Amino acid sequence: MDVLLLALSLFVFTMALAVFSNRQRARKELHCELHPNCLLTRWPLLFVTGPRSFFYFSAYWNGYTSYLAEHGYEVFNLRLPWNKTPYRQKRFLDFIEQQEKLGRKFHLFVDPPTFGELEELLRTRNSPAIMSLTEISDSTRSHHSGALKALPVPFANVELLTSAKAPLVTRFTYALHKVSLTKYFLPSLSVLGACEDTALTNARLLLERSQVLAEQDFREG
């Protein structure tokens, strides 16, 4: 009975810690001076959520999207199902088909595991709704494609700085997140913008990528 009570208490504590960690991350913002005269993209930036679990489910990209929005970019988040690849693929395909019917276009941003899930779909379906694809990774966790043919849309990999200086509770719950999703090669907390010492620098790298996309839109328009 004591063992059962101890196990139940540990479970409740872990769940409460996971909720606290997610809420703590979601409240954090990137405070900085804005870069002036940013060339804006013609099409919105669409950040896709990677694999999630109860230990990491809120504010997947942390402060990146709000940072870009503050610089004038139109930014959206596409929340795919948490971690079932067939469901995630279907939700993405449904979204793409809907956007095609509406005549909408966007620049897609994904992490390595999501790129791995969607690569075949992106190759076989040259959707007019996708204007570009950007993979966000660190130097050791990018998705290595075995395809010999280039993607049908402009592609770039943005390698971000890595760090281990996230809050202790965030590092603990993210470790549980990785343990619960061992089938995925998940990005580091720093790549996702959860480490304070690299978050702003990494956000600026994404801003630079967004300006490259804006120049691309300008030339094509």
C-alpha–C-alpha distance, residues 10 and 12, integer Å: 6
Residue 64 one-letter amino acid: Y
Q: Which residue has the tokens 């001076």?
A: 33
For 2-27+37-220, CATH gives 3.40.50
Q: Which residue has the tokens 């990018």?
A: 142
Summarize pLDDT for 71-89 with one digit per residue, the tens. 999 999 999 999 999 999 9
Summarize pLDDT for 112-137 with one digit per residue, the tens. 999 999 999 999 989 999 999 999 99
Q: What are phi and psi of 178, to 5 degrees?
A: -70, -40
What is residue 141's predicted lDDT score, i.e. its pLDDT? 67
C-alpha–C-alpha distance, residues 98 and 201, integer Å: 35
With a cut of 70, which residues of the chain have pLDDT below it? 1-3, 5-9, 11, 141, 143-148, 221
Q: Which of 208, 169, 165, 206 is nearest to 189 (CA)?
A: 165
